[in-house]
Structure 1
Amino acid sequence: MTPPNRASAEGPGTTGQSPNLHSAGRVRAGKPEALVVMSRDVFESQFDLERLERLHRLAQVPDPVFVDDLDVPALDERLRRVEVLLTGWGAPRLDGARLDRMPRLKAMLHCAGTIRPQVSEEFWLRGVRASTVAEANAVPVAEFTLAAVIFAGKKAPFIAADAEARRSNGLRIHRYGELSNLGRTVGIVGFSRVGRRVVDLLQQLDDITCLVADPYADPLEVRAAGAELVELDDMLPRVDVLSLHAPALPSTKGMIGARRLAALRDHATLINTARGSLVDTEALEAECASGRINAILDVTDPEPLPADSVLFGLPNVMVTPHLAGSLGTELHRMTDAALDELERYASGAPLVDEITSDDLRLSA
């Protein structure tokens, strides 16, 4: 998940050195040689002095500490020696040509969520290991979703956006449906990292019924989490809130289309903090424009929406620019998780969040 309004990386060949840290005198035999690969602004946001010092304790990190372009010829010797890449937003795809320059590469530890843009078939064929901090990034997304569910119950974003409703002392408030979070039914589509966390957080609400739709979920695990596993089409007419947490795959593209939106009860709220491609935007525009259902959208298709999208002008729709994922100090949680993995790798311990090519078939 890419932070909103991210400045583009600087031009080819941009490299960075850690402030007040130099590799000379710090390299110890036995530590893997590492290189950070991500855009400059991501690097500066994720690696403060404390985390740079920890990186140097765990690995050999000759200059440059980080790069945002792997195709610079001057990096040949550095890449020939590197064993571990710490990648992030803005990192290039590791195709055959780039991997040829890194014959000793054994692991890519991704300091963000999905690794899909970074890996290639050649990456897997060469036996390079991969890890992600998607679990750490799931924390703020689940928190954002909980807040969205609570606000949806009170219809707060929609009333706040409706000037006439605000001025009417409540006379028009109920046009958005009943205002309550007591005894609500919330549908979770996708028992993913985020979906599981949302189910757990929802248990804080009084008299909540939580339904989960996921063809790959274990019914016993879902029930242990406090929810009930049901078919998606059976779920839709039962929920007050439908929250999407499925991955963007060919099989999930447009899964919430006109037919399924029409199956939602009047005044239900659709929340999407996953991927915009899960929803048929044209069908959602029609349903929301009618006033029949509401929506809270942190992701859209396309992203961003065209400036003239009807969704921007509807009081029963709240659109945020991909804010749910890690931002600000939350980025340090992802860096810490990646450095934890580096420490495990360096000590020969199993990686906690290792990803295989098979895992990518069903995940983001």
Structure 2
Amino acid sequence: MGNVLEGYDEGVPLEELPELVKDSSNHLFVGARRDVEAMDPNNPAHQEKAKIRLKRFFDKVRKNVEEAQALAQTEAKDRQIAEEFMEELAQGLTLMKLPVTGRGPAKQRLLWLVPYTNRLHVARSKSTVSSKGLYLIDIGKVWRGKRTPPFTENPIAENFADDCCVSILGSERTIDVVLPNADEATSFADKFEALLRTLRLTNIRNGTAQYGQAIAVPGRNKMMGIVTAAQVRRLLVKGMNFSRVVGKRLDSVKLWLGEDRKLHVGRSGHLEGADRYFEPLAVNHIIEFRAGMYTKSFQAYAKEEEKKHAASATEGSSADERAFSIMACGRNLDLLTTDIQMREFLVTSMNTWLEMLNNATNLGSSDERMQDILLSTTETYSGYEEPTV
């Protein structure tokens, strides 16, 4: 068998191959070795077939090694960019920032990172006492262009080029800034995205993947994604019941998708019964559906629950396992489901629905038609035959 392997294995024993390679290629090696051992070494035709099979194996090995190396190089590059960018942020970056209220002039502000808290602050200077900011771990995305309300609702934004505008989206607020030119805006957004990818990868490897932006799992193929998204759409059209965290208490509410393409919250499931203390969430302003208690509202509620259980000497509730937040531009809606299984299903499927709304062009449909399909408020969308589940 040694002669057959010569020229293909490059002297690398199977046991020393990376786990990634062995997992995906070992069956090819076993099959090729079995074929070689069963063949007559004096038969050239058999030898040629064995060489072809072994070449398939080692071609697969090389491809997997190259992919693993490319991924490692990308991660290393992201990590280097992230480290350098965090140093820049620690020093502070002077930018033009739009007011979060959506009115008033853009003003020069300092954006800086406090390393020991990993909190991003924005104010006139580092000496300014201000609570405005975002924890890095609580930043969902970076949007390029004028997409958030501070840009779309403020007339002053007309003075700025779209490719100079960037928004940092988190649970507490958005930070909407204008860079001097398009190149600097692109560089700023690229660095911030590399930082978020690095943080997310660190969280995943530390076993805390839910702490940070949720990663959508759109299914094994486009059709599975459509099936999942269709399920979510039907549930949202009918309305779903949750417990909503309001300060230190829970309110029973219904969440539903309205004809205005917004998620509404109310006690009756109708617009006239909507909660007047919570403005509807525009679907195109939603960043993600995030599992766990990682918003300010949830943290306040969790502390209150801990006090109650400590006073009554009872064990803590499983609220954390049932909790999830709908993260939007500078706002979030904190909800509790009935159990962890329901929470996991909803978070995964809703992120799939959101992912398809944001990115997908499926089954030859245009983006506009797919959005119509996924946001229709009829029981069955007339322009598309939904797959049955």
Q: Give the strand-richer structure, 1 or 2.
A: 2
Task: Bin the TM-score by the shorter chain.
Answer: under 0.3
TM-score (norm 1): 0.25
